[in-house]
Structure 1
Amino acid sequence: MKHLIGKLERTIVFVLKTCLYAALFISFFGIMGIDNPQLLRFSRTSGVTMLTFVVAGLGMTAAYGRYDIGKRKSKPIISSIGLATLITDIVTYIELSIMNTNPANNTEFKFESIGLFFIVVAVQVMCITVFTYGGNWIYFTLYDPERCCIVTSSRESFLQISHAIDVFRKQYRICEVKDYQADDLYEAVLRCDTVFLYDVPIKERTELIEYCYRNMRSIYFSPEISDIVEINSKHVILDDISLINLPVKELSVEQRFMKRFMDIIFSAAAIVMTSPIWLICAAAIKIDDGGKVFFKQKRATKDGKVFEVYKFRTMKENVKNYSSVADDDRITSVGKILRKYRLDEFPQFLNILFGDMSLVGPRPEMLENVYLYTKEYPEFAYRLRVKAGLTGYAQIAGKYNTTPKYKLILDLMYIENYSILKDIKLVLQTLIVFFKPDSTEAFDDSYYTEHVAKFAEFLDANWKQSEE
């Protein structure tokens, strides 16, 4: 039965996805074809332009995310597909303008039908919005949330993972909460469809994973450092013995050359293109309080090398130096705007050009934080195996207030899966950060009412002793 439901689910998603992508394709060529009839008949222009649209669209959706209704919330899907479609439209539109530069149309280059282009974008945004909200509505009308069992080791761990699950309450419904040492743990697992193993010791976690696998239960578990190392493992056979090989992960000579080449080209181009924004930011800071425009701070990069990172100053001068917090009164009025739109980070293109940083990599931490985090998590030093970056996987997938341990996990995933294509993808995905809600989000009332209150008595009975 589950197999049939899974096939029906994939069919529904495939049909909706096909209709959406067809609508985006038809809207571009149907509307742009009003002033460019050659797009609506067999011609070299239509063939090349349509191929450009398809190839660019496939590349952009691979970078930003596909139409994965039932897996993600509607707004992130709209943001990712909308951005992918906009870039695809721009690339195709420029290609069309180039194709139309010929003796039969335009003797010199010019942008074609700019008004129609904006209409295309507006129509496509409406299509994406309707298909995303409508698709998720259809999906969650047909499919109930998965019955979930949380297996963890403390009240604090339960609060963390249940809050994360509650954000996706349409996908998951918490039905069981168990301490990993509970006597009736395996019976609870069988009563659910999906099991979340969070903060469970590796030995017990391994036993639970084997049990869930044997009984066809989906599994989510929080990774440890050893799990990250195994991501790039290779299966080898010596004689007839199967082994897992974990090769030492270092950038090859050609990878280091390409990464540095991309850093120089991109940072130099970014400095030139954003120079007007630099002037506006500098003038705003000066007008605000008359203080220094730039702020320098010692940070750590590859192999623990210390360098000075450049930023636009967003805090008052001569104040204590520590990581910003919510409602930080050290931040100036101009600084709040610069931070909100990440404009204070622009001077770091100089650090990239000078070779202190890379375009993509773990964000450089304050020296004080490096000391504190490494003291609590010795593995935090592994982040220093590569050059610090302006953007990285932890910045895109995580939040500003992501804990040091989870930042470490995300950064190690990047280090262990490095490739030039991964860097390009992360650079493109950095634009998504601007569409993400504020990182300092609080628990909502329904979370407390539905989950914490529901399991309060159970939590008190199971973890009261550990809290004492």
Structure 2
Amino acid sequence: MKKLIRKLERTMVFALKTCLYVTLFLSFFGILGIDNPQLLRPSRTAAITMLTFVVSGLGMTAAYGRYDIGKRKSKPIVSSIGLATIITDIVTYVELSIMNTNVANNTKFEFESIGLFCIVVLVQMVSIVVFTYGGNGLYFSIYEPEKCCVVTSSAESFMQISHAIDVFRKQYKICEVKDYRANDLYDAVLRCETIFLYDVPVKERTELVEYCYRNMRNIYFSPEIADIVEINSKHTILDDISLINLPVKELSIEQRFMKRCVDIVFSLTAIVITSPVWLICGIAIKLNDGGKVFFKQKRATKNGKVFEVYKFRTMKENVTNYSAIADDDRVTAVGKILRRYRLDEFPQFLNILFGDMSLVGPRPEMLENVYLYTEEYPEFAYRLRVKAGLTGYAQIAGKYNTTPKYKLILDLMYIENYSILKDIKLILQTLIVFFKPDSTEAFDSERYEHLEKFSDFLEANWGQREE
């Protein structure tokens, strides 16, 4: 029976996805239709609001993520679809209220059936939770985790990648671990379905990728700078010779102009809308220890230009300045809350308005970190080809404690694939950060302590070498 169901995987996921989206649609129009019967019969109002709901829903799910059970954990799916649904509901609800402002309904604008709208949102959120956890539960009851082989170069590298894989233990099960120099490496590869290549030199990695491809094995590998540059490559034929062209990637005049316009409009709007939050944060900081409300620090932006970034102060005054660590005693009680919800970043809208930063771009690192990271990874300077940003791909996809190398990889992916639409998508996705409990996770040397179950793999491959 399970074999038959496995063959119908796409059909099953499509059926669940369709049922969920139909439930969201019917919940909105069925419940609000109680007070707005025009939504339940052929009418201009019904046609326009339904079209708005569908178009907004498609756009929001494209930005935040779809119902991809079996590929993502349940909480991120609930967060992304839930946020997309709420925004879609609000847009459609406001449009409905505007359309009902007429002689036959409301002589002046007012929000329609607020109580019913709240019920709509509640029913939809419950539906999303049920379909997501139920869908993932059904999926993983049918499909066993993929048997994985991890190929890497050291115990430290193995601990890094195994920690990431272990987070998705329902999807992947580490069955083999090999040093890329091991004599029986290829035999281990054939015993597994999926191969993770992490921190393997490019020459050996290329050989392994070709071997895995030849033997129909799924492949994941950690990218290097050349891989990122190649993402934006173009196929060119000179005479009859195929070549890959890697054009120099820079923002055009039109792109820079549009990006600056978005920065000015958005930062001004954000400052006005969030001004009450600024006032509350300032009062809380003053009441906490009576110190300064704002904190200024030198950071690096485009072409290495140094500027002073503005933030709400979250640490005690007159303490040594370095990146926050887990349980950092320099962080104040109010500062912990501000950092948890990213409220300390709000004053950076001033930096965006002044032109020191952009809304989207690489995180502006402390000068000490720039010097340190660039010394270890000279390519780290590449991220200074664009203005520093309040949000960005590395901030959304990564964490506060993501390693410098992978911050660089994420930032270069953004730079090499820049577009205004990409910026808008990242701006929308920034809201997801508030639902990620690990997004502000500080540097913690004990993060791998729970991986003792892999100690046999460590001993077999690098026990003597690490000693």
| TM-score normalised over the length of structure 1 | 0.96
Indicate conservation of the 8 Å contact 2:149/2:195, yes or no.
Answer: yes
- Distance between the aligned counterparts of 2:236 and 2:282, measured in 1? 57
Shift of 1:3: 12
- Distance between the aligned counterparts of 1:437 and 1:324, measured in 2? 16
Match of 2:423 in 1: 423
Question: Structure 1 pair 302/66, CA: closer, same or farther in 2 (3 Å)?
Answer: same
Match of 1:151 in 2: 151
Match of 2:278 in 1: 278
- Distance between the aligned counterparts of 1:160 and 1:143, measured in 2? 26
Write the letter of the residue equivalent to 2:321. Answer: N
Question: Structure 1 pair 86/368, CA: closer, same or farther in 2 (3 Å)?
Answer: same
Contiguous gaps of at least 5 residues in structure 1: none
Match of 1:41 in 2: 41
- Distance between the aligned counterparts of 1:268 and 1:34, measured in 2? 40
Is 1:132 the counterpart of 2:132 in the alignment? Answer: yes
- Distance between the aligned counterparts of 2:97 and 2:161, measured in 1? 51
SS in 2 for 1:149: strand
What does the per-residue CA deviation read over 1:24-78, in whole Å, with 9 as the maximum and x for residues that have no partner? 0000000000000000000000000000000000000000000000000001100
Match of 1:209 in 2: 209
Contiguous gaps of at least 5 residues in structure 2: none
Q: How does 1:309-458 map to 2 (within 5 A)?
A: 309-438=309-438, 439-440=441-442, 443=447, 447-449=451-453, 452-453=454-455, 456=456, 458=457
Write the letter of the residue equivalent to 2:466. Answer: E
Question: Structure 1 pair 448/459, CA: closer, same or farther in 2 (3 Å)?
Answer: closer
Shift of 1:230: 0.4
- Distance between the aligned counterparts of 1:466 and 1:263, measured in 2? 52
- Distance between the aligned counterparts of 1:288 and 1:437, measured in 2? 24
- Distance between the aligned counterparts of 1:197 and 1:25, measured in 2? 43
- Distance between the aligned counterparts of 1:254 and 1:376, measured in 2? 35
Write the letter of the residue equivalent to 1:285. Answer: I
- Distance between the aligned counterparts of 1:378 and 1:386, measured in 2? 17
Write the letter of the residue equivalent to 1:466. Answer: R
Shift of 1:5: 7.2
- Distance between the aligned counterparts of 2:80 and 2:254, measured in 1? 32
Write the letter of the residue equivalent to 2:459. Answer: D
Write the letter of the residue equivalent to 1:343. Answer: L
- Distance between the aligned counterparts of 1:332 and 1:126, measured in 2? 37
Match of 2:119 in 1: 119
- Distance between the aligned counterparts of 1:6 and 1:103, measured in 2? 57
Shift of 1:327: 1.3
What does the per-residue CA deviation read over 1:187-220, in whole Å, with 9 as the maximum and x for residues that have no partner? 1111111000011110000000001101110000
SS in 1 for 2:8: helix
* Count of paired positions: 462
Q: How does 1:30-69 map to 2 (within 5 A)?
A: 30-69=30-69
- Distance between the aligned counterparts of 1:65 and 1:291, measured in 2? 42
- Distance between the aligned counterparts of 1:263 and 1:123, measured in 2? 37
Indicate conservation of the 8 Å contact 2:6/2:143, yes or no.
Answer: no
Shift of 1:445: 7.7
Question: Structure 1 pair 242/321, CA: closer, same or farther in 2 (3 Å)?
Answer: same
SS in 2 for 1:106: coil
- Distance between the aligned counterparts of 2:272 and 2:310, measured in 1? 17
SS in 2 for 1:136: helix
Q: How does 1:142-181 map to 2 (within 5 A)?
A: 142-181=142-181
RMSD, aligned CA: 1.6
- Moved runs in structure 1, 4+ residues, more than 6 A? 2-6
- Distance between the aligned counterparts of 1:428 and 1:414, measured in 2? 15
- Distance between the aligned counterparts of 2:342 and 2:22, measured in 1? 35
- Distance between the aligned counterparts of 1:445 and 1:376, measured in 2? 26
Indicate conservation of the 8 Å contact 2:6/2:142, yes or no.
Answer: no
Shift of 1:459: 2.5
Shift of 1:464: 3.3
State the percentage of identical aligned residues. Answer: 82
